[in-house]
Structure formats: C-alpha cells, structure tokens
Amino acid sequence: MPEYADAKPHYRINDTKNIHLLAERQSSTFNVEDFAQFMFGGSDNPFDINTRRQLSFVEVHFFFEYNLSFCLARLAIAHPIHQTHLPFEYLTADEHYSLCIRKSFAAIDAVNRLNITNRKHRGWFYDIFVNYYFSFYIHTSMCIYAIENLASEEQKHTLLPLAESFQIIASYAQTELGHGTDIRRLETEAIFDKTTDSFILNTPTLTATKFWPGSMGRTVNHVLLMAQLYTPDRNHACGIQMFLVQIRDLKTHQPLPGVEVGEISTRFAHILGDNGYLRLTNVRIPRTQMFMKLAHVDSNGHFTRRGDARLLYGTMVHERLRLINTTLMALIRAMAIAVRYSAVRFQGLNPSGKETQILDYPLQQEKLIPSLSTTYAFLIAFIKLDRYFFQLKTNDDDYFRELPQLHALSCGFKGYTLSISERIAQICRVACGGHGFLVASGLVTSRNGIDGGCSAEGDNVVLLQQTARYLLKVMQQVEENNGGDLHASVAYLNLPLWSPTTTSLILDDYCRLFESRSQLLVKEMYGKMLESTSSSPYDAFIQNSIELVHMAKAHMETFIIRTFYDQVQNACQHVSIALVLEQLFYVYAIHTLRNTSTDFVRLKLLSADQIYELETRILPDLYVQLRPNLVTLVDAFDFHDFELDSCLGRYDGQVYEALMERARLNPSNRHKVPPIWASVKQGTLSKL
C-alpha cells in the first residue's frame, strides 16, 4: 500500500451519529481507507484522493486572525463567504448568479494567496470552494488549454499571462443555433480585409447565431470563436479556424459595438447556468487574433497550413475527458447519497413487528447494487483512459500513432457511459422516494448535470458513430491484412472465439464472452456494409446506423469489462480488496450481459437457460455477499458533506434533522400568514 499517513480522510467512523449507519460501517469486510488508496491514490490518478483531500498542509494567516494548520480542501470549505447566503434552491436566478461570481473570484483570490500553482489542483480547489458552480470553468478547463495548444508561440507569450490572471475571461463559441457537432457546416464568417489587416466577423443568418456556449451570457469578456475563414477575399474559403474575439469592454463589461450577447432560456433551473447567445455584425479584429499554430494568414491574405492538424483532436479529446470526469463526479455523489440514505431509512413492518431497513429489500438492492458496480466499472475504465491520454501527450510519435484509438475510445466512452450514468442518476433519485425529489437531496442537481452532459461536447449517439467508423476500419485491416499490428483495445478482433471450458463462468470467461460477442457483431456489420446495395457508403452507414451504434456500445462494454478485470488482478496482493472488487466485477458483467442477452443467445455464445441461471441465482447471491460493504464502498469516495450538499447523504446520518433545518430556511416560511391569504381573509383580494 502507498504511504498516506498525512492525507487524512474527511471523516472517521466515530463521526457517525446514526446508529444504523454506524452498524453498516462496522460490518464492512475491508478497510475503507486501504480501498480508497488502492482505487484513487497516486498523483497520476485523475481522482488523486490524497491531493484532493489535502494538497499540502500549510501554515497560513488566511481567513482567521491566527495561524492554523489546515488542508487546503478544508480551507476552501471554511471560508466565511459560505455563511452569507441561503441554500441555492432558495435564491432567485440573479441572486444565484451573483453569488457564484462572488464565490468564484473569492476562490481565485484564495488560490493566489495560497500559491497553488498546479493547474489540476487549482481546478479542484475551485470546484470544492464553489461547490462545482465555478463561473469560469470553461475558461480554465478549455480555453487556456486551447491557447496553449493552438496559438503560436508569440501569441501564447502575450495571451497566456492575461488568461491565467483572468484579465481575459473566455468562452468556447462553436455551437450555433442551427449547427452543433458538424463543425464543417458552421455559418459564422471571418473575412480577411487586406486594407486594414483585419478580419471582419459576421453571423450572417439567424442559424449562424452562436447558441449555448457556457459562461457567455453574462460572464466572459472574450470568446474563442470557431468560424469559416475566407482569405484573401470572400471567394476563397479556407475552412474552420479559431479566433480570439473580445465581446465586452474590459472596464465596464458593456458589449462592444456590433456585438449582441445575452443569456438563453435557462435549462433545468438557473443552477446550471450562464449559457449564452452571440450575434456579430461587422466586428473587426486584428489579423493576429486568429490562432496561428496550425494555420497562418500573412498581411497579404496568403493562407498556409502549419504543423499537424491532428493536434486539433487532442483539444477535443482533452475537453471530452474533462466532461467525463465532471459527470463521473456527479454520478458518484448520487451513489453516495442513495446508498447512505437507504441505510438510514426504514419502511414497512416485518413479521417481528419492526420496521425494515430499505437497504435490506432485494428490490432496493436490485436498484442500487448494479448501479454501484457499474459506477466502479466506469471509474476504473476512466482512470485507465485518462492515464493513457496523458502518457501519449509526452511523445508526439506515440500520440499520432495511437490517436485513432484514443479518439474512438474517448468518443465511445463519453457516448456510452453518459447514457448509462443518466439512467443510474434517475435510479438513485427514485430509490430515495419523495425526499429524493427535493433539491436538498443533492440528487436533482447531479441528475440534471449528467443529463446536460449527454448532449454537451457532442451528442452521445453521434460520438458512438465515430467509434463505429473506427471499428469498421480496423475490421477491414483484419480482413485484408490478417490483422497486423492492432491497437490494444481491438486486439480481440483477431483472436479465436470464446468457447467454455467448464460449466461455471470465471472472471476471464466474462472478458472473452464480451470480446467474442463484439467481434461477431463487428464482423457481421462489416459484411453487411460490404453487401449493401445503397448508392453510396454514406447511405449505407445511415441505413445501418442503429446497428452500428449498438456495435460501438458492445465494443465499449468490452473495453470496460477487460479494464475492470485488470484492476481485479492488480488487487491480488490485497485479499479483502480483491474479493469485493471481484464481486463488483461479477455484478457488472452479469447485469450488463442480461441487458443485452439477445446478442449472446442469437450469436450462440450462451443459452437462454444459462442467462436465466445467472440472473435469478448468481446475481441475487452476489447482492447478499456485497450487502455488508455497500456503505463503505461509497464512503471510499470520501466526499465532504459540503461537496455532497445533501441532507440525505450526510456522513453522520442525521438525515431528518438536516431536512427540517433546510425546510425552516425556506424564505416562504418567514410569513406565518402568506400575504395572499391575508388579502383573502380580509376580503381585499382583487377580483381581477
């Protein structure tokens, strides 16, 4: 086990006040801290639990009048600004927006005073401080990254200090009212004017209006604008390029001439925030405001390409991974809330006359245990994918060689996992009954955030089609060249099909089962595409798109289950950890298998009777085995109550006390008699 003595968890078991939750923690078969370190420890782990907890212990004269040794996460939570407002659900949209801006600037000030220089650590501090409502998230997570990777060295020298000091605050303006994922069809124009050495920007049609960019409605003063470049004149199209465009005055925050900008209709209430629209009318920017690492326009309007355009994929993959990370954080918050509440809540009398803990009901376990196993499967696979991306970034040759696989995996992973995560978040909401419908449950916010992510940075189904195209190309390579040197994630396409060696299935059998199923589906679809009588490959792809997306999902399930298997093997030196991971693995494999049982039966990999046996005998037995560890499995995520922001998911288990306290804060309760009823009773209510 790695050393983690100085990185203390947010809570200890003695912090538990609810006796039933305490009993759950005492019944666990593994050490929760050992498990957390095994799963989430290490600086190369995207969840790096020790740094999230602590970053470092520092002696600071900070929010208090004397020096205290605090971990930085606790400093974020302890800031007095958090005591100045009602819970978010009791604020108006404008109050909430203003509060998030104030908190975001307070977080930036705290980061500077604490001298947190690591960008990932700064991002975590911002998230914790503003409870995942950081107003400049797009700027810090995407726009600065784009400047670093798409601007020329000269441009970076000028722009990065301004962006990192928040003098420039930018949004990423790609999506238009009429076009989103298909960037080739964007209508916003940038026409070069040689006489003034500038670009003239216009949104020439209604559907060219930039629509949806985060933080653009009221917050940012610049945008990274994706537009069609025309140079040296309107008759010469040069494709999509990125431009840095100032849209607001830096002193007054007023929109600049030619700029119409505002907030669009809110989505899922104001808490998910400042999405905007933007129209440009003859807005001029200097030629040097086009990012020029991969393309260049000189003062005569001559356009040349530079570098490798495939670097653009790196920016998209980076943002896609950050979106997945954010979504998984929302998912594990939802799981922690639902499982803890299910351990506290009692409902229904048993034969002895006592109420039953709802976590003991098989139907509640059927909701939560497959959801929890799936959550762990996604986390394990994402950790591998994130490490893979950052390892490739250190070597250009490796990066370009692996880019097709990286692109296909990131597309497929986002498309597949967010669709499932959306359903799991809803399951968690329903599993908590009526209380789960309250904003105070914390579940509504998590569910809505995941729901929005399903169409952000590419619609899930569109992204899965990208994975499908990759698989067809690989299968062509297999058929024409007997496989050759295949990427690791698709090496199974060149393996013999699985055949059972015993009547019972063990760990690797499930991996080979899913690999064989995916292999057969890919071969089947490849042959179908070759035999298609459609007039073009495009028509053939569209006509078969439903099955192609299904094929892509099968490939992602194969990737996830093989990665899960590898993690179980990695735990072999830690018996108690390996055992619980193995149980989670089996639940995920059988649950996923039964949801797609038609494939396994049709392809003659399993019989209907075998699947029925797995579903009705093996799976319920696994629920019984996992039952003592459910609470500690979500405790391993180690969220502070401030991060969960949930009355139902509190570590101490004082659910009902928290619900009453939250309800009493509702501003509508300040009147014992609501004013409208005073008018009714006094007979002064207007008949109009």
Residue ranges for the known binding site for FAD are 175, 214
Cα 171 from chain centroid (whole Å): 18
Count of CB atoms within 10 A of residue 196's CB? 11
Cis ω on the peptide bond leading into residue 628 (within 30° of 0)?
Answer: no
CA distance 237 to 189: 10
Tokens representing 321 are 């991974």
CA distance 49 to 13: 18
Residue labelled with tokens 């970053």: 55
Among 187, 422, 457, 515, which one carries the catalytic annotation? 457
The CA distances from residue 675 to 391, 664, 681, in Å, are 63, 18, 10
Do the beta carbons of residue 335 and residue 326 sit within 8 Å?
no
SS3 annotation, 220-280:
CCEEEEEEEEECCCCCCEEEEEEEEEECECCCCCCECCCEEEEECCCCCCHHHCCCEEEEE
Q: Which residues does the annotation place in the binding site? A: 175, 214
Tokens representing 565 are 């298997």
The overall longest dimension of the chain from CA atoms, in Å, is 90
Phi, psi of 230, deg, nearest 5: -125, 120
Count of CB atoms within 10 A of residue 1's CB? 12
Nearest residue to 175 via CA among 406, 488, 439, 462? 462
Tokens representing 577 are 């950890």
Cα 219 from chain centroid (whole Å): 22
154 flagged as catalytic = no
* Measured CA angle at 329 (ends 327, 335), to 5 deg: 105
Cα 408 from chain centroid (whole Å): 17
DSSP state of 184: G
* Measured CA angle at 499 (ends 495, 505), to 5 deg: 115
Sign of CA dihedral 507, 508, 511, 516: negative
CA distance 261 to 12: 49
- Kind and range of the H or E run holding 94: helix 93-114
The CA distances from residue 424 to 10, 240, 450, 562, in Å, are 26, 38, 10, 22
CA distance 148 to 457: 20
Q: Would you name the residues annotated as active-site residues?
A: 457
